[in-house]
Structure 1
Amino acid sequence: MADANAQTGAFSSALGRSWWVILLFGILSIVFGFMAIFNPIGAGAGMTWAIGVLAIAEGLVTLLATFKKDVPMSKGWMWVYGLVSVLFGVLAVVNPVSMAASFVMVMAVWFIIAGVVRITMAIRVRKAIDNEWTLILSGLLAVVLGGCMLAMPLAGLLVAVIWIGAGALIYGVLQIYAAFQIRKLLR
């Protein structure tokens, strides 16, 4: 029992000394949240650019891995995946706003398909469940949202980035609160 208490105390002490890292994450999240809310096009382009850089890196690593003898999958598929990743990454880095709008288009099609599936499921199970209208309503809302996003992808991007920004603000506030709670472990 004493050994467990000593381990808990050591862990608490180590965690308490790193409270400032959590505080920094919180502050950065709040800064990003404000940027996303007040400049959603720039934030959306920035996120797309960062995803593009990651895609290029992953594609290059995948292509390099094809030269190893023991690879876990077909080298042909690895080449396809690596080349598509690099191509996508380059397009996202070169023109991040256009690629962000493409993301919205894919999301819009997904919303429409998901909405139709929900409506169909609600109709099929309407005798087995109560309040199937809620599934139908959520399906209709998904179809409408998807249609709006297809009709105006830039507006869809703006809304998505603003929601991400709002989430980042909430996350940042919670991180800052947690940092000061963890800091108390040093006392």
Structure 2
Amino acid sequence: MNRYKNSPEHQQGLTLIELMIVMVLAGMLTSWGVSQWYHYQQALRLEQTAQQLLAFLTRLQADANWHNRNALLWFRPGKIWCIGSGPQVASCTALADRAFTPEHLDVELQGYTQKEMGFYGVRNNAQAGHILLGNHAGRIRLVLSAKGRLRLCSEETAIRSLPLCEP
């Protein structure tokens, strides 16, 4: 009746070992993909926050130049941090137009120049300094030159399209 039952030429399906190998490979690729996706998201959030801070400071610089007034920066570090200009307030959430608060809470304010930093309306100059943002993906430095130029660079490892900081 069923004379080909044990014949290797007529086997159908996978053996248990083959199935286990396929499952282990699929699991390894999935775990690698998830970790890479997490790192990509972290890098993207860090770059977006740095670009948003750059846009905020550019707007603040243009406003100081337009109205020919000083716009000195203040920093409020902490878990929920903010950077602003003008009079300081007790809470970062109370400010709207004159302060920057990050959209992503995993991006930290890791350092900044410990001196007065900001923009001067006369001749569009600035007090030079830097702001350092970071998370698990790396660190990005926002550099403010004395001539008012703002630029971004990444420290240690290249983050997305940003160049490495020069020593």
The TM-score, its normalising length taken from structure 1, stands at 0.24
Q: Which has the higher contact order (CA 8 A, sep 6+)?
A: 1
Query: Is the strand fraction higher in 1 or 2?
Result: 2
TM normalised by structure 2 equals 0.26
